[in-house]
Amino acid sequence: MDLFKALPALRRHALLKGKTIALVGVSTITRDGAAYYFEIGKPKYWRRTAQGEDGPTWIGVGGIGGGIGRDETVLDCLHREVEEELGVHTWLETPPRTFLIHEWRIADELRLPPSKRQRAPLVLILVPPRLGGPNTPDHLAIAAFPTRLQDAPTPRDLFGLLRVENQALVEFFTRDEWPLGEVQSHPGLTLTLTGLPPSNAILYPVLTARAFQLLVRAGRV
């Protein structure tokens, strides 16, 4: 999907003007009154270090979401992914501003005009395209929206779910990595898993959670 079709107001931004940007994913930073919830990445996305089987296994912590289907709107994709992955419905919240993340820094804060048809995300993440070629866009983009849970979530089409209580949010995102054992023993963190991860696993924020980490560290949350 063309980013500027989804969010026309961005076309005039100095960093984006004249660029081709494909909006390839939608995610949510979702919460209830007590905590935030993040996806634990599936085994196919895990990675090992050069140490091989004796080294740690790195497992990503990300937002709830996925790729936009053919003829699917941004918000349709968002609601579908949340229901598939958590089995619940959410309320879409309206952020006072949108943070533009480029090269893993906060490049700008935007106040997008309100619209019932085109809701503003909390975070817009620009990442480089994976492949080259004549039709390759200048950037790929992921839009992350804030949502509020209507019911208690459970991991469905997920390997696991990480619950970060409000009082533990800053502590969790101050660090770039968390050994599995420390997560499991921390009173403000709760893991709900559908399988057994390696005992030497290390959790680290990726994509939406990494962008959210920037906001937490900058005191914007």
**pLDDT tens, 157-188?**
999 999 999 999 999 999 999 999 999 999 99
Give CA 207 to chain center in angstroms: 5
How many domains would you assign to the chain? 1
pLDDT bin (cut points 50, 70, 90) of residue 48 is confident
Instruction: Kindly report, residue by residue over 63-114, the tens digit of the pLDDT.
Output: 999 999 888 999 999 999 999 999 999 999 999 999 999 999 999 999 988 7
Residue 134 has pLDDT above 80, yes or no: no
pLDDT bin (cut points 50, 70, 90) of residue 115 is confident
pLDDT bin (cut points 50, 70, 90) of residue 54 is confident
Residue 61 has φ and ψ, to the nearest 5°, of -110, 120
Residue 103 has φ and ψ, to the nearest 5°, of 55, 35
Q: How far apart are CA 7 and CA 169, in angstroms?
A: 30
Phi-psi region of 97 (alpha: psi -120 to 50; beta: other; left: phi over 0): beta
pLDDT bin (cut points 50, 70, 90) of residue 18 is very high
Q: Calculate ∠ Cα 83-86-3, nearest 5°.
A: 55
At 137 the pLDDT is 94
DSSP type of residue 2:
B
pTM confidence score: 0.94
Task: Tell which residue, 62, 54, 35, has the closest CA to residue 186.
Answer: 35
**CATH number for the domain including 155?**
3.90.79.10
**Which domain, by its residues, includes 76?**
3-217
At 55 the pLDDT is 85
At 130 the pLDDT is 77
Task: Tell which residue, 163, 166, 135, 145, has the closest CA to residue 76.
Answer: 145
At 118 the pLDDT is 78
Instruction: Let me know: does 65 contact 28? Beta carbons within 8 Å.
Output: yes
- The pair of three-digit structure tokens given for residue 91, joined into one six-digit string: 């309320």
Task: Tell which residue, 75, 85, 91, 87, has the closest CA to residue 148.
Answer: 91
